[in-house]
């Protein structure tokens, strides 16, 4: 009997635990249904978020590629600018050097011009002086000079001596004219 009592007790315990009231069952099934609906919503949201993540990753990859392209293009432009700046600096230095040389050459030419002008003025004044002296001599030759009669007859000069002294012209000074 002990076994029979034990079996009865077990059957009673099992039957008492397996019985649920209908209200609890309905409440539990409605809770399961709402949890299932929430799970479906969460799965739908997860899928939507996965799609957003995928599209954002694609956009990020495209933007990264664009950024790398722009960085490379920017570096190329900077290199080109630096090269152009270097060329401009070199050209500027060359032109400044040429300007210095041309300015020095211009100063030298101005100085030579001034020297030539001074020399020209000197030559003009020398020519004018010689022309004046020549005119004075021509006048003195063309004007008759009163002959002075010596008081003593033995001091009479021959006529050739008189004309030689009147016609003798002093020699013009010679100056060396530098050639430009």
pLDDT on residue 165: 45
What pTM value is reported for the model? 0.41
pLDDT on residue 116: 97
Q: What is the pLDDT of residues 64-83, one digit of tens each?
A: 999 999 999 999 999 999 99
Could you give phi then psi for residue 108, rounded to 5 degrees? -65, -45
Q: What Cα–Cα distance (Å) separates residue 113 from each residue in 31, 41, 126?
A: 116, 103, 20
pLDDT on residue 55: 97
DSSP states of 66-92: HHHHHHHHHHHHHHHHHHHHHHHHHHH
Which has the higher per-residue pLDDT, 92 or 155?
A: 92
* Pair 180, 116: CB distance under 8 Å: yes
Average pLDDT, the chain: 83
Q: What Cα–Cα distance (Å) separates residue 171 from each residue in 89, 138, 165?
A: 66, 15, 14
Strand positions, DSSP E, the chain: none
Return the residue matching tokens 């799970």. Answer: 39
CA gap 75, 69 in Å, rounded: 10
Q: What is the pLDDT of residues 7-57, one digit of tens each?
A: 777 766 656 555 778 898 999 999 999 999 999 999 999 999 999 999 999
């Amino acid at each position: 009997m002990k076994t029979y009592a034990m079996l009865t007790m077990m059957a009673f315990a099992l039957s008492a635990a397996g019985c649920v009231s209908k209200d609890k069952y309905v409440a539990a099934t409605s809770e399961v249904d709402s949890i299932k609906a929430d799970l479906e919503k969460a799965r739908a949201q997860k899928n939507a978020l996965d799609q957003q993540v995928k599209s954002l990753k694609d956009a990020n990859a495209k933007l990264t590629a664009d950024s790398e392209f722009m960085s490379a293009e920017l570096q190329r432009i900077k290199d080109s600018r630096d090269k152009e700046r270097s060329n401009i600096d070199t050209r500027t230095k060359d032109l400044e050097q040429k300007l210095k040389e041309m300015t020095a050459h211009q100063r030298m030419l101005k100085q030579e011009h001034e020297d030539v002008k001074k020399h020209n003025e000197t030559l003009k004044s020398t020519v004018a002086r010689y022309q004046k002296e020549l005119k004075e001599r021509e006048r003195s030759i063309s004007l008759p000079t009163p002959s002075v009669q010596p008081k003593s007859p033995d001091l009479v000069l021959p006529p050739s001596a008189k004309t030689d002294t009147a016609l003798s012209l002093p020699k013009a000074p010679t100056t060396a004219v530098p050639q430009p």
